[in-house]
């Protein structure tokens, strides 16, 4: 590709396709953060893109390791690979967490709500696969969005 503007547009189109098409390569995006032991990477579902603002939206459980990692250090890297186009999209971002709103929560199907909440918290070692109780909790529903420097004052929302 020689046209940089067209390349950028293709990258945004590829990302946007993931939001609406479960089979699109950008449906899942790798999010890398800095953990206590070094880099950490995991898959998340891409929930929204805003080309004009240059932002992506992802959702997580506020009790996950990634949430506390981002609260400590908002710098993140994101990665998508589209094999058909042979296109790798690499992004760097500063990520803030905000609580999901009751309206966003209501829009989720019940099965999806159950992904946010539960005991013990994600990442806790359990003695057996069924030693976890799923309880849907709006207080644990966190939206990953762009970190802006002014978020520092007042301090950003820290997950419970």
Ligand X SMILES: Cc1cc2nc3c(=O)[nH]c(=O)nc-3n(C[C@H](O)[C@H](O)[C@H](O)COP(=O)(O)O)c2cc1C
Q: Which stretch binds ligand X (CB under 6 A): 9-17, 39-47, 99-107, 125-133?
A: 39-47
- The answer to whether residue 104 forms part of the interface with ligand X (CB under 6 A) is no
Q: What are phi and psi of 98, to 5 degrees?
A: -130, 155
Q: How far is CA 29 from CA 49, 93, 109, 120, 129, in A?
A: 12, 13, 22, 26, 26
Q: How far is CA 35 from CA 49, 78, 125, 134, in A?
A: 26, 15, 18, 26
Considering only 28, 75, 94, 146, the residue that binds ligand X (CB under 6 A) is 28
Q: Give me 141's structure tokens.
A: 């529903």
- The answer to whether residue 137 forms part of the interface with ligand X (CB under 6 A) is no
Considering only 17, 19, 45, 77, the residue that binds ligand X (CB under 6 A) is 45
Closer to ligand X by CB, 7 or 101: give it.
Answer: 101
Nearest Cα to Cα of residue 88 among 10, 3, 22:
10
Site for ligand X in 62-81 (CB under 6 A): 64-66
- The answer to whether residue 44 forms part of the interface with ligand X (CB under 6 A) is yes
The contact set with ligand X (CB under 6 A) reads 28, 40, 42-45, 59-61, 64-66, 122-123
């Amino acid at each position: 590709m020689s046209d940089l503007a067209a390349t950028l547009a293709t990258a945004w189109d590829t990302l946007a396709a993931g939001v609406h098409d479960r089979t699109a390569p950008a449906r899942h995006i790798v999010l890398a953060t800095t953990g206590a032991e070094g880099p950490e990477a995991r898959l998340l579902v891409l929930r929204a893109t805003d080309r004009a603002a240059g932002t992506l939206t992802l959702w997580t459980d506020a009790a996950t390791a990634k949430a506390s990692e981002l609260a400590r250090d908002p710098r993140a890297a994101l990665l998508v690979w589209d094999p058909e186009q042979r296109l790798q999209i690499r992004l760097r971002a500063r990520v803030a967490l905000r609580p999901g709103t009751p309206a966003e929560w209501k829009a989720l199907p019940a099965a999806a709500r159950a992904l946010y909440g539960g005991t013990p918290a994600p990442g806790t070692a359990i003695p057996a696969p069924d030693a976890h109780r799923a309880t849907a909790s709006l207080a644990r529903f966190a939206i990953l969005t762009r970190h802006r420097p002014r978020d520092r004052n007042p301090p950003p929302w820290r997950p419970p």
